[in-house]
Structure 1
Amino acid sequence: MARVADTAVVIRRGPSRCTAFVAWNRTTDEFRVGQWLKGRIYERRCDISPDGKHLIYFAMNGRWREEAKGSWTAISRALYLTVLTLLAKGDCWHGGGLFVGNDAYWLNDGYGHEVSRRSSRGMGVQWVHLHWPDERGWHAR
C-alpha cells in the first residue's frame, strides 16, 4: 500500500508460473488487472512509492542468457512491468528494494546487481540509490 496515496498493488500468483500486478483503489474499492509475467515476482522484495506511482520489484523468469540475466530488480510505473530502471541480477540472492521517498530507493544488494539500462521514459525522475542507514542516516551511493 502506498504511504501517501489511496492506492495499493496486489501481486497475484497463478495460474501455473504466471504473476500479475492488480491495482487496488482503496477509495472506490475497485480493482484493475495490470500486466502479467511468465515467471515469479517475489512479493516480499517489492515496494510501491509513497505517492503510489512507481514500483520496485524483484522477478525471475529463468532466461539466464538475456539482458536481465534471468532474475532482476526493476523500477516501473505502478501496475506495469515495463522497466524504467533495470538492475540485472543473475541469481536469487538478495534483490528488490524499498522506496524511501518518491524519487529515492534502497536496493537490497549484497552483491551482483548490474545496471543494464536506464531510461526515464519521459518521467523526469532521477532515481537516487541509497545505502542502508548508519549513524549519518541514509546516504547516496
Structure 2
Amino acid sequence: MTVPAPSCRLYVLLATAAPVALIMRRGPAGWWHLMKWDLLRCEVTPGAWFRGALYPRRCAASPDGTLLGYFALGHGQPPWDTYFAVSKTPWLTALTAWHTNGTWAGGCEFAPDNSLTISASMDKQPFHGNYPYRVTVQRLDLDWVRRDLRNEFKRGWRPLSQEVAKQLPLELRQAVLIERIRPGDDRALVLAHTGTDFQRHGIEGVQVSYLREDDDGILTPLSEAVWADWDSKGRLLMATRGGVVMINDRRSGSWTQIWSQNLCDLTPAPAPSPHWAQAW
C-alpha cells in the first residue's frame, strides 16, 4: 500500500532568551509559510508566504525572537536568485540582503547584542539595505552534519553520554547522537541524526529520530516528532509528521498534552508584510 505524502513539513526555530519560536512550514510543494509561536499565550500568528526554497537548518532567530536570518533560493533575477537576508519575524521582507554563490551556506548565528555571524560562500557587502549591528562573514564550514544540527548546538544540545547511548536501539547507535538536558532535572531529550535522504520526509532531507528519557531512565521513542526541544520551563515542545505543533507538560507524574494546533491544511495566502516589518 502506498503511504500518502505529508501535506506539510515543519521545522521550529526556538528563541534562546524569550518564550517565542518561529515555525517554518513547507507545503504545498514550492510554498513556505512562517508563523510566530507565542509559548506564553499558546498562540500561533501567521506571517509570510514564500514561493521558492528556504533552508531552515541554516536559518536563525535572534535571541529575543524578533529577527530572522535566512537563506533563500527564489525566482528573481540575480542577485535575488540565491541570497541571505535578515527580516523581522514572522515576515520575510529583507531589511538587508547579501548575494550568495548558490546554496553553499553553512548557517548563521545571532549574538546576544544581535551582531551576526554568517558561514557561507557569499559577498561580504550587502547588495540591499543595511544591518545596524556588526556582521562577520566567515569561511564556509563543510561539516554537513554539524551544519544540520547547528541550531541544536546553539540551544545547548551536546554529544550523547555513553551511558545513555547504551539504551538506544541497535539501529540508532551508529547515528550522530546528541542530547538536551531538561531544565530543572537530569532527564534528557535524545536526537539521532541518521543521514540525509531527499526522497523521504525531512527538512532539507535530514532524517532525525527523537527519544525522551523518563523518570525511570527508560528512553521512550517520540515516533511522530520531526522536531522537539524543552522550553525554559521544562515543557516538551514538539512538531509532528502530521503537521501539528504541541506543548506537553508533566502533570501528576506523567506527560500530558496541554495545547496543540494543527497546521496541516493551510492554503497559500501571500500578503504584503505590515509596515513595522518593512523598516528598521
**1:61 alignment partner in structure 2:** 74
Residue 61 of structure 2 aligns with an amino acid whose one-letter code is I
Deviation at 1:96, TM superposition (A): 4.2
**Identical columns (%):** 27
Structure 2 unmatched ranges of 5 or more = 1-13, 139-280
Kept after mapping to 1: 8 A contact 2:119/2:137: no
Deviation at 1:129, TM superposition (A): 1.1
The TM-score with structure 2 as length reference comes to 0.42
Helix, strand or coil for the counterpart of 2:69?
A: strand
Residue 128 of structure 1 aligns with an amino acid whose one-letter code is R
The TM-score with structure 1 as length reference comes to 0.79
Q: CA–CA distance in 2 between the matches of 1:131 and 1:119?
A: 15
Q: CA–CA distance in 1 between the matches of 2:85 and 2:37?
A: 21
User: 105, 112, 116: which is aligned to 2:116?
Assistant: 105
Q: Name the larger-Rg structure.
A: 2
Flag the structure with higher helix content. Answer: 2
Q: Which moved more, 1:98-107 or 1:26-35?
A: 98-107
Kept after mapping to 2: 8 A contact 1:97/1:108: yes
Q: Which has the higher contact order (CA 8 A, sep 6+)?
A: 1
Deviation at 1:84, TM superposition (A): 1.1
Deviation at 1:85, TM superposition (A): 1.1
**2:133 alignment partner in structure 1:** 127
Q: CA–CA distance in 2 between the matches of 1:130 and 1:72?
A: 16
Residue 5 of structure 1 aligns with an amino acid whose one-letter code is A
Q: Which moved more, 1:17-26 or 1:89-98?
A: 89-98
Helix, strand or coil for the counterpart of 1:93?
A: strand
Matched, 1:24 2:37: yes
Matched, 1:10 2:10: no
Mark the CA change 1:98 to 1:127 in structure 2 (over 3 Å): closer, same or farther: same
**1:36 alignment partner in structure 2:** 49
Residue 88 of structure 1 aligns with an amino acid whose one-letter code is H
Q: CA–CA distance in 2 between the matches of 1:29 and 1:87?
A: 34
Q: CA–CA distance in 2 between the matches of 1:130 and 1:36?
A: 29
Flag the structure with higher strand content. Answer: 1
Structure 1 unmatched ranges of 5 or more = 121-125, 133-141
Q: CA–CA distance in 2 between the matches of 1:14 and 1:24?
A: 18
User: 93, 102, 106: which is aligned to 1:91?
Assistant: 102
Deviation at 1:14, TM superposition (A): 0.7
Residue 107 of structure 1 aligns with an amino acid whose one-letter code is I
**1:139 alignment partner in structure 2:** none
Deviation at 1:101, TM superposition (A): 2.4
Runs of 4+ in 1 over 2 A off after TM superposition: 111-114
Q: CA–CA distance in 2 between the matches of 1:105 and 1:33?
A: 26
Mark the CA change 1:44 to 1:37 in structure 2 (over 3 Å): closer, same or farther: same
Q: Render the CA deviation track for 1:44-88: whole Å, top value 9, x for unaligned.
A: 01111011110101111243x3332x1111101010101111111
